[in-house]
Amino acid sequence: MQHYDVIVIGSGISGLNFALRAAEKSKRVLVVTKKEIALANTNFAQGGIAAVLSTLDNFEKHIKDTIVAGAFHNDKKAVRYMVQNGPAAIARLVELGVPFTSQHGKIMLTREGGHSERRIAFVADLTGQAIEKVLVDKARRNPFITLYEHTFAADLIVEHGRCYGVQILRDKKFENIFADMTVIATGGAGQLFENTTNPEISTGDGIAMASRAGCEFRDLEFVQFHPTALYLKGKPRFLISEAVRGEGAYLLNKKGKRFMIGKHPLAELAPRDIVARAIFEEEKSGQVYMDLRHKDADFIKTRFPNIYQTLKEYGLNITKDLIPISPAAHYICGGIKVDLRGETNVKNLYAFGEVTGTGVHGANRLASNSLLEALVFSDKILRAKRLPQNFPKKIGTRKFVPASKKEAASAKKLRTQLRKTMWNFVGIIRSQKSLLQATNELKKITAQLQKMRTTSKEILELKNMALAASLITKAALARKKSLGCHYRVN
Task: List per-residue pLDDT tens for the chain, 490 residues long.
Answer: 789 999 999 999 999 999 999 999 888 999 999 987 766 555 555 668 999 999 999 999 999 999 999 999 999 999 999 999 999 999 999 999 999 999 988 999 988 888 999 999 999 878 888 999 999 999 999 999 999 999 999 999 999 999 999 999 999 999 999 999 999 999 999 999 999 999 899 999 999 999 999 999 999 999 999 999 999 988 889 999 888 998 899 999 999 999 999 999 989 988 888 999 999 999 999 999 999 999 999 999 998 988 999 999 999 999 999 999 999 999 999 999 999 999 999 999 999 999 999 999 999 999 899 999 999 999 987 766 666 666 666 677 789 999 999 999 999 999 999 999 999 999 999 999 999 999 999 999 999 999 999 999 999 999 999 999 999 999 999 999 999 999 999 8
Clarify whether residues 422 and 368 are in a common domain.
Answer: no
Predicted local confidence at residue 394, as pLDDT: 62
Q: Does residue 96 fall inside a structural domain? A: yes
**Domains contained in the chain, number:** 3
CA distance 345 to 161: 8
Q: By three-state DSSP, how is residue 16 classified? A: helix
Percent helix, strand, coil in the chain, to 5, is 35, 20, 40
Question: Which residues fall within 8 angstroms of residue 77, CB to CB, at 6 or more apart?
Answer: 340, 359
Predicted local confidence at residue 290, as pLDDT: 97
Clarify whether residues 79 and 126 are in a common domain.
Answer: yes
Clarify whether residues 101 and 32 are in a common domain.
Answer: yes
Clarify whether residues 193 and 237 are in a common domain.
Answer: no
Q: Does residue 155 fall inside a structural domain? A: yes
Q: Does residue 393 fall inside a structural domain? A: no
The amino acid occupying position 372 is L
Q: Does residue 383 fall inside a structural domain? A: no
> What CATH number does residue 107 fall under?
3.50.50.60
The amino acid occupying position 451 is K
Clarify whether residues 238 and 217 are in a common domain.
Answer: no
Q: What 8-state DSSP symbol labels residue 146?
A: E
Predicted local confidence at residue 26, as pLDDT: 86
Predicted local confidence at residue 242, as pLDDT: 82
Clarify whether residues 232 and 215 are in a common domain.
Answer: no
How does DSSP assign 364-390, residue by residue? SPPTTHHHHHHHHHH----PPPPPPTT
Clarify whether residues 215 and 240 are in a common domain.
Answer: no
| Burial category of 168 from C-beta neighbours within 10 Å (exposed 0-12, middle 13-18, buried 19 and up) | buried
Clarify whether residues 361 and 316 are in a common domain.
Answer: no
- Determine the structural domain holding residue 292 and report its residue range: 227-329
Clarify whether residues 44 and 144 are in a common domain.
Answer: yes
Q: What 8-state DSSP symbol labels residue 186?
A: -
Clarify whether residues 244 and 135 are in a common domain.
Answer: no
> Under a CB-based contact definition with an 8 Å cutoff, are residues 86 and 264 in contact?
no
CA distance 325 to 450: 38
> Under a CB-based contact definition with an 8 Å cutoff, are residues 339 and 205 in contact?
no
Q: Which of 80, 245, 272, 488 is catalytic?
A: 272
C-alpha dihedral sign at 466, 348, 32, 35: positive
Clarify whether residues 344 and 251 are in a common domain.
Answer: no
Clarify whether residues 324 and 452 are in a common domain.
Answer: no
Predicted local confidence at residue 424, as pLDDT: 97
Question: Which residues fall within 8 angstroms of residue 119, CB to CB, at 6 or more apart?
Answer: 50, 51, 52, 53, 54, 57, 62, 109, 111
Predicted local confidence at residue 36, as pLDDT: 78
Buried b (16+ CB within 10 A) or exposed e, 177-204: bbbbbbbbbbbbbbbbbbbbbbbebbbb
Q: Does residue 22 fall inside a structural domain? A: yes
Predicted local confidence at residue 236, as pLDDT: 86
C-alpha distances in angstroms, 317 versus 1, 226, 231, 255, 305? 56, 22, 15, 20, 12
The amino acid occupying position 20 is L
Q: By three-state DSSP, how is residue 103 classified? A: strand
Residue 272: active-site member: yes
Return the half-sphere exposure (C-beta side, CA atoms, 13 A cut-off) of residue 351.
31
